[in-house]
Amino acid sequence: MKTLKEALAERISEDRLVRLTSDMVRIRSYSGIPAQETGVANYIKAFFDAAGIPCELKEVTDGRCNAIAVLDSGKPGRTLLFNEHMDTVEPNDMPDPFEPKIVDGQLYGRGTDDPKGMLACVMEAMLAIKETGALQQGKIVFTAVIDEEHNSIGTIDTLESGITADGAIIAEATNMEIQTCQRGLEWLEFRFIGKTVHGGFQRQGINAIAKAVDFINLVEEKLTPKINARTHPLLKESTINFAVIHGGTQPSTVAGECVLSLDRRFLPYEDYDTVLDEFRVLLDELAAKDPTFKCEMSVCRESVMKEGYVHLPMEIPPDHPLVTTLQEAFREASGEEAVMSFMPAWTDAGLLSAYGHIPTLIFGPGDGKFAHSNEEHIAVGDLTKAALIYALTAAGFCHS
């Protein structure tokens, strides 16, 4: 009698995984494309319709649709949510970005590593589970969402639609490492306001660049050491990065305005409001000492999410059943122990965990360092391996 692993492995097709990934790569889904991700959503729905797995499209905004597929055993058990986005970054100057090709076992094309290879793996895993009858209890929900590369309105919409689960896997490129946490993220803008005058009368002006320097120096003196002292077993550190600064107009003019943007990454135990308040305290301190100091602090436009949402951190306990089930599935599929790590970027895992209260982890084939690059690619063999691991994890986790 075949084992579950053998039955699933027989149904998982490398050729189909390459075809699914390649077909979706050819469907452009970057910003500026009309109804940006809906072409991919239609493709996903057609796949599940042919497989006899219920799938619906839900318009989120401007013709842009999420695709939601559900495989239900009809028996009580856990619900596992797979979540992955359909949008990609722009092609930029990548050669032939929408003509997938295999070179030395690597599938090249825009979206192969982020996110279309992962979409294909989840689709293939659900097909294998359906064909083998491996889902004995519970159900699997797959949300293919819009807009993760920008404001995450696709995942927010799924949460506001009432979708919930006992555990969730964000299918992102982790180099097959199980990522159990990620930092929170905020991009902040500080607009220092001075007084513009001719350089020959500089004492009559207020130099906004100098005020920005005062702020940076105070941050480095008082806040940066505190931030650097905050540690985490996997995430290691809390961080702050002075990212962009613009000020002044020409050498003979006192700068009347200077704008500083910074990146703040914070740990799961750090509170978002406190993170912002730490900067406000320093601004208040400078204003109290210097009556000419004026600064307006805000969230960068690119970082603003839907009202009520921010980029919060995520962490799942290492002994959570979803983590241990995935570890066992990895061991069974590969004969090796999975590496436990963290996500260095921000993903929609923060939304599922913080706002959906769904224990969430991040796992997938591909290497994140190739995402968004001109050499974006994914190992063909990893697609097959990941699809099997997803299938084993889903069957095991939902059976409770």
Task: Report d(CA 353, CA 113) in Å as an integer.
Answer: 24
When pLDDT is cut at 50, 70 and 90, the band that residue 1 belongs to is confident
pTM: 0.95
Instruction: Return the ∠ at Cα 362 (arms to 356 and 366), rounded to 5°.
Output: 145
Residue 91, pLDDT above cutoff 80: yes
* Whether residue 222 is found in the same domain as residue 295: yes
CATH number at residue 225: 3.30.70.360
Are β-strands 106-108 and 377-379 bridged in parallel, bridged antiparallel, or unpaired?
antiparallel
Question: Domain containing 28 — which CATH number?
Answer: 3.40.630.10
Tell me what the mean pLDDT of segment 217-240 comes to: 97
**C-alpha closest to that of 141 among 398, 399, 400:** 398
User: Please, what is the average pLDDT of the chain?
Assistant: 97
Peptide bond preceding 115: is omega within 30 degrees of 0, i.e. cis? yes
Q: At what angle do helices 380-398 and 321-334 cross, to 10 degrees?
A: 130
Given 271, 303, 335, the domain boundary residue is: 303
Q: Which of 303, 329, 352 is the last residue of a domain?
A: 303
Q: For the residues 169-175, what does the mean pLDDT come to?
A: 97
**269 falls within a domain:** yes
pLDDT, tens digit, for every residue of 243-290? Answer: 999 999 999 999 999 999 999 999 999 999 999 999 999 999 999 999
Residue where the block lists tokens 């070179």: 103
Q: Which residues neighbour 331 within 8 Å (Cβ) at sequence distance 6 or greater?
A: 337, 338
pLDDT in tens, 291-345: 999 999 999 999 999 999 999 999 999 999 999 999 999 999 999 999 999 999 9
Is 144 found in the same domain as 45?
yes
Residue 308 lies in a domain: no
